[in-house]
Chains A and B, each alone.
Chain A
Amino acid sequence: MKRTVLIVEDGHEYIDRAEQFLSEDFEFTRAGNGEVALQLLQETPYEMVYLDMNFNRVGTQHLLGPWDELTARFGGDKEQARSFLEAHQGVYVLSAIREAGHDLPVLVSYDFSSEPKRWIHLKNRYGPIAYLSDNEGPDEVRKALIAMCEEPESA
């Protein structure tokens, strides 16, 4: 039986490529933002999540994260706050998924190899999670998803 994966991304690149190259092994559903992702997770028991990091095609009102706090951090500059939320939205979505009590494995599409300390922190806080760098192709995505599904704790 195919494994069910919820792809959370602002565009359609991941879902298009996944359906093109990985549909033999997985069944994919797309959520266009964090809110929709939480709603879908509430309704359907997906086996894992494949999560984009940068959400710069989502309306501001649909970005998850501490708006007021960030606006204050940037001295009241809402544009900078928005830009920050967009660039790191993946982590805020991840945080919201865990806060909502979903403990399924999450594969984050982002290269954390240059940020080992940050990655350890995120892993301890949000595990089971794994990451896959942007420069990996469909076969690597397949392997990572299968590994996540079979041994989420090893991720």
Chain B
Amino acid sequence: MHWSTLLFILGTGPVHAQDELVEAGLSETELERFRDGVSALAEERYQDAQGQFWRVHLTNRGHPQTLLGLGQAYWGEGQLKEALQWFDECTHLLEDCAFSAGEVALAIGNTDEAVDRLERLAEEQSPDVERRVRWGLMKAYLAQEEIVRAVEESVQASQYDRDQENDPWTQDDLQSLLMLAKQVRELQGQEKPWESSETSMWPDLLGVLQSAGEGMEGLEGVEALEAASFQIEIEEAARRRFGGIDRALDGAQQELARAARQALSARKWVEAEQHLRSLAAEGSQSSEYWGLTGRLLLEREDTPDWSEAERALRMANKLAPSNQEWGSRLVRLLTEGFGGRRDKEALPVLFELVAQNPTPELTMQLGDLSSKVGEYALATRSYTELVERWPGSTLVEEAQDRVAALERGIPGAAVVEAQPEGLEETVQKGAQWHYHLSVVLQGRGRPEEAVIQARQAVDLQPSWPVAMNHLAGLLVVDSPREALSLWEESLRQAPDQVQVRTLRVDAFLRLAQPASALKELEVLVGTAPEYHFRRAQIHESQGNLVAAREALADYFSGYTGVLFREEALALNASVAPPDSGQPWVLFLGLGLTFVGGSTGVWRWRRRRTGLSLAEFLDREPRSYHDLARVLAGMRHEVLKHNTTLLPTVADALERGDRGPALDASGILLGGQGTSGVIDLWDRYLGELEAIGHSHGVRLNLRFIDRQIAPMCDAFDSLRQLAPRLHKGRPEFMVEKIRAISTAVNEVGYRELGKLLHEVCVLEVDRGLLEDVWRRVAREPGIVGRGLAAPVLEASEGMNVRVFREDFADILANLLRNACEAALSDRPSNEVRIGIRVVEEMDPVTGLSWVAIRVLDNALSELSNDMIHSRRIGRGIGLALDLAKRSQGSLVVEPEDGWSKAVVLRLSMAEEAEG
């Protein structure tokens, strides 16, 4: 923004004429100072520039370029209000002052004032308003969310450029343009009235984007644009319109690609690399080039790291999403190269691949991967599609089995959108098309567009339950009533949809209509008696304990499966009548029945019931490992590199620099085909809730959890703030950003660490070892055999990273194994068992371990091979699995004075931790 004005000062036209014009009326001394000021500006020494221009101003107060220079110097220092005052002084003298004043007003956040100033300037310059003024207006309208006018200005600016063959647009201009494109896209998605006009703005804007892209050469230009954009819509537009196209290979390039392929197949890496270099030198940016490069990096043994291979394959996949080879390789890299850690990232790639190349094998793979990462609805849909689309495939039986397993095994699994029999012939092609498009859009995280497509499918085929169910699923959160009526119609068409009824139950509860939910459940329990439990839950939550007990009795008498079993037992215990007659309990129950009926109390209860993570861990200690995985992900993937940017954004905004805010918006909201950190947070929360659900427990993380709830609040605030980070008023934003940063980066980070620490650090001391021994000594094979107590050698308590239950199980298994082995070949009175606990340290990493050495004098041999190949029973396999889960190890080592030591090593946690 500074440069346009600076160029004017320095002289962009005929230099001498400009110099004469600018320098007119200045004495020699003033001229020297003025030139020094200009040089200082050019070198970004703003304080020096201020000094020089100020001196000129003292002796020549009306000189417009000096006033402009002063404004520029203050602007450069980030003193925007002062800059505006200087520009104001010369606005009537110099168009550049008027323009700069508008730009500064915009930077300060006074959008109305910016528009006012720039409009006036545009009127004065009529009829041929220069490009930069139009740009300024475009940005000002954008800040005012006057999208139509902003598009008009950008189109005219583009036209002006074409006429004048102006300089290429700056990165700043492009960012504004891409933001505008995003907003247009969003507005179109919302079906704004103007969308119905014959000339939609989107093509106009794409034309502008195209002309911007044409000014840049090759892929670099596209990448620069993409780097500036932060929404997938823009990425798609950019790709479609200007350059991200898969450029065809010419004859010589084809020859090089073929030679590279042959060399790769022959594993001649150097030769392949040479061919690919030649291909690049020939200027190829084709998917073939990137794909082969990715393959080379992936297959050769001396590849420095896989991230370069991943980049190349992603590029190939992006340029040619329908190319099965590159997509498959990328999926394989992500799923097989990282031990399952990046399966979720592979899912959208595979999804796109299946959409482009639908085959039974790929569809099956999509089902398997979806199931593995917990996307059960997508898994079910994939398997079902395989069955319906390729009935003759050898994979059909397997797919059917998996659908059945999914239906059986997952409480609350999403609705199976299977086609009711007899309907497929009647569904119009158009409806099917819109439905599938909607599914794809939903998969890409674009729910608003998915809803539009789903509505069109339902409009075209109102009797099609599949589309109705899908649309209802999309609407249920925001418009539960509409979702309910869609499901009602769907059930009228196909009454035997158990899961649709369960979804209706949830929707009624969401609307605080428990009576309707109960009515739906009355129908449901006819075919699925396990749902008596849900009836009991609802009665209990309303304080109707008698009805809850009756429903539970129906559950236990009518259903013998495992679904909801543990939860039902727990509920049964909590609603059981009191042992002794206590009249106040009855009154309390009656009171609760009365009060619990109201909507407010229902919501109140929902917010205050459920378990916190700490309570859940107490109740379900075995869930620790799953929870720890998610919590560690929250801590390292959500916070690291992401929300830690917030203080920098706040500092920059205070200085008047919006660049970091714009960058941060992209990171927080996502784009370029990747999720934003806010979505990532939501996904992790969903994973935690799903872990609770899998144990039959409702986790209430958002309202009652001491550690997570404040972070949820902070992320909610961030969600509202993120889209406005770069355009809101800095004075309002800064304080909020700092508060969010404190809640997330400092308190949240610390609290998550504490939570992880509290549950996984255990002090191992003599008392604990003796407790475990007593437990083993009471077991049937050992009790009464007269074994002597083990020899214990343990110093003061040492903290190890393991969950208490796991540790007790591992040690019990090792002790039991030692006793049984010794008892099998020695008389009881000769059996000796010992436990020695020692600290060990690795000097290279500085890590310490606690080694728990379980000693015995058995004669039979036990080797590492036997442990790790699981050729022995006696619970050693379980001990090994539990040790591994805690990143520990289990090995057999010699020990002086004993037959052997089975050594459990666990990481040591230092005292200061937490």
Which residue numbers of A lie inside 8 Å of B, CB to CB? 10-14, 17, 20-21, 32-33, 35-36, 56-59, 61-62, 65-66, 72-77, 79-80, 83-84, 87-88, 91-92, 95, 111, 113-119, 121-122, 125, 134-140
Given A59-B306, A76-B864; A115-B913 close (CB under 8 Å)? yes
Contact A32 B910 (CB under 8 A): no
Q: Which of B640-648, B689-697, B712-720, B727-735 contacts A (4 or more CB under 8 A)?
A: B640-648
Q: In whole angstroms, how far apart are the Cα atoms of A85 and B76 in the complex? A: 49
* CB contact list, B866-914 vs A, under 8 A: 867-868, 884, 887, 889-891, 905, 909-910, 912-914
Given A32-B304, A135-B639; A117-B864 close (CB under 8 Å)? no
Shortest Cβ distance from B329 into chain A, in angstroms? 15
Given A116-B910, A118-B910, A125-B843; A138-B864 close (CB under 8 Å)? no
Shortest Cβ distance from B362 into chain A, in angstroms? 25
* CB contact list, B204-229 vs A, under 8 A: none
Chain B residues, CB < 8 A from A75: 864, 867-868, 889-891
The chain A residue sitting closest to B752, CB to CB, is: A135
Contact A137 B905 (CB under 8 A): no
Contact B636 A134 (CB under 8 A): yes
* CB contact list, B626-677 vs A, under 8 A: 635-636, 639-641, 644-648, 651, 660, 663
Contact B635 A134 (CB under 8 A): yes
Which residue numbers of B lie inside 8 Å of A, CB to CB? 301-308, 310-311, 337-339, 341, 635-636, 639-641, 644-648, 651, 660, 663, 745-746, 749, 753, 757, 841, 843-848, 864-865, 867-868, 884, 887, 889-891, 905, 909-910, 912-914
Q: Could you give 11 example pairs across A and B, Cβ below 8 Å?
A: A12-B307, A14-B641, A57-B307, A58-B305, A84-B887, A114-B910, A115-B913, A121-B846, A125-B843, A135-B746, A138-B644
Shortest Cβ distance from A17 into chain B, in angstroms? 6
Identify the interface centre among A12, A21, A59, A135: most chain B CB within 10 Å of its CB: A135
Chain B residues, CB < 8 A from A118: 846-848, 910
Q: In whole angstroms, how far apart are the Cα atoms of A75 and B863 in the complex? A: 10
Identify the interface centre among B640, B745, B749: most chain A CB within 10 Å of its CB: B640
The chain A residue sitting closest to B913, CB to CB, is: A114
Contact A77 B910 (CB under 8 A): no
Is chain A's binding surface mostly helix, strand, loop or mixed?
helix
Q: In whole angstroms, how far apart are the Cα atoms of A56 and B340 in the complex? A: 11
Given A32-B308, A125-B846, A137-B745; A83-B887 close (CB under 8 Å)? yes
Selected from B305, B636, B644, B847, the residue in CB contact (under 8 A) with A59 is B305
Selected from A10, A14, A76, the residue in CB contact (under 8 A) with B868 is A76
Given A75-B890, A88-B847, 17 more A-B residue pairs with CB atoms under 8 Å apart are A32-B305, A32-B308, A33-B304, A57-B305, A62-B303, A62-B305, A72-B891, A73-B905, A74-B889, A75-B864, A83-B339, A114-B909, A115-B913, A116-B910, A122-B846, A135-B639, A139-B648
Contact A11 B307 (CB under 8 A): yes
Contact A56 B889 (CB under 8 A): no
Chain B residues, CB < 8 A from A117: 848, 910
Chain A residues, CB < 8 A from B644: 134-138, 140
Contact B306 A21 (CB under 8 A): no
Rank and list the top 4 A-B pairs by shortest CB-CB distance, nearest first.
A32-B305, A137-B644, A114-B913, A135-B749
Chain B residues, CB < 8 A from A59: 303, 305-306
Contact A35 B868 (CB under 8 A): no
Selected from B305, B339, B641, B845, the residue in CB contact (under 8 A) with A10 is B305
Shortest Cβ distance from A134 into chain B, in angstroms? 4
Selected from B745, B844, B912, the residue in CB contact (under 8 A) with A135 is B745
Selected from A17, A73, A92, A114, the residue in CB contact (under 8 A) with B912 is A114
Shortest Cβ distance from B888 into chain A, in angstroms? 9
Given A75-B864, A75-B891; A21-B645 close (CB under 8 Å)? yes
Given A12-B307, A58-B306, A114-B912; A137-B640 close (CB under 8 Å)? no
Shortest Cβ distance from B831 into chain A, in angstroms? 25
Chain A residues, CB < 8 A from B651: 139
Shortest Cβ distance from A145 into chain B, in angstroms? 14
Q: In whole angstroms, how far apart are the Cα atoms of A12 and B302 in the complex? A: 20
Q: In whole angstroms, how far apart are the Cα atoms of A10 and B308 in the complex? A: 10
The chain A residue sitting closest to B303, CB to CB, is: A59
Contact B913 A139 (CB under 8 A): no
Shortest Cβ distance from B796 into chain A, in angstroms? 15
Given A12-B307, A138-B648; A88-B338 close (CB under 8 Å)? no
Q: In whole angstroms, how far apart are the Cα atoms of A105 and B632 in the complex? A: 29
Chain A residues, CB < 8 A from B867: 75
Contact A36 B304 (CB under 8 A): yes
Chain A residues, CB < 8 A from B647: 137, 139
Chain B residues, CB < 8 A from A115: 846, 910, 912-913
Given A12-B307, A137-B647, A138-B648; A77-B868 close (CB under 8 Å)? yes
Chain B residues, CB < 8 A from A111: 753
Contact A92 B844 (CB under 8 A): yes
Identify the interface centre among B301, B305, B640, B841: most chain A CB within 10 Å of its CB: B305
Q: In whole angstroms, how far apart are the Cα atoms of A95 and B305 in the complex? A: 20
The chain B residue sitting closest to A112, CB to CB, is: B846
Identify the interface centre among B648, B846, B865: most chain A CB within 10 Å of its CB: B846
Chain B residues, CB < 8 A from A56: 338-339, 341
Chain B residues, CB < 8 A from A121: 841, 843, 846
Chain B residues, CB < 8 A from A12: 307, 311
Contact A35 B304 (CB under 8 A): yes
Q: In whole angstroms, how far apart are the Cα atoms of A13 and B273 in the complex? A: 27
Shortest Cβ distance from A127 into chain B, in angstroms? 13
Chain B residues, CB < 8 A from A57: 305-307, 310, 337-338
Chain A residues, CB < 8 A from B746: 135
The chain B residue sitting closest to A138, CB to CB, is: B648
Q: In whole angstroms, how far apart are the Cα atoms of A106 and B307 in the complex? A: 23
Shortest Cβ distance from A104 into chain B, in angstroms? 20
Q: In whole angstroms, how far apart are the Cα atoms of A113 and B844 in the complex? A: 19
Q: In whole angstroms, how far apart are the Cα atoms of A99 and B305 in the complex? A: 22
Contact B884 A80 (CB under 8 A): yes
Q: In whole angstroms, how far apart are the Cα atoms of A13 and B674 in the complex? A: 14
Q: In whole angstroms, how far apart are the Cα atoms of A56 and B640 in the complex? A: 16
Shortest Cβ distance from A38 into chain B, in angstroms? 12
Given A33-B304, A56-B338, A57-B305; A134-B843 close (CB under 8 Å)? no
The chain A residue sitting closest to B905, CB to CB, is: A73
Chain B residues, CB < 8 A from A135: 639-640, 644, 745-746, 749
Chain B residues, CB < 8 A from A11: 307
Shortest Cβ distance from B663 into chain A, in angstroms? 6
The chain A residue sitting closest to B309, CB to CB, is: A59
Chain B residues, CB < 8 A from A32: 304-305, 307-308
Given A21-B645, A75-B867, A76-B865; A116-B912 close (CB under 8 Å)? yes
Shortest Cβ distance from B414 into chain A, in angstroms? 31
Chain B residues, CB < 8 A from A10: 305, 307
Q: In whole angstroms, how far apart are the Cα atoms of A72 and B914 in the complex? A: 32
Chain B residues, CB < 8 A from A21: 645, 648, 660, 663
Given A58-B305, A134-B635; A114-B914 close (CB under 8 Å)? yes
Given A73-B891, A88-B845; A62-B912 close (CB under 8 Å)? no
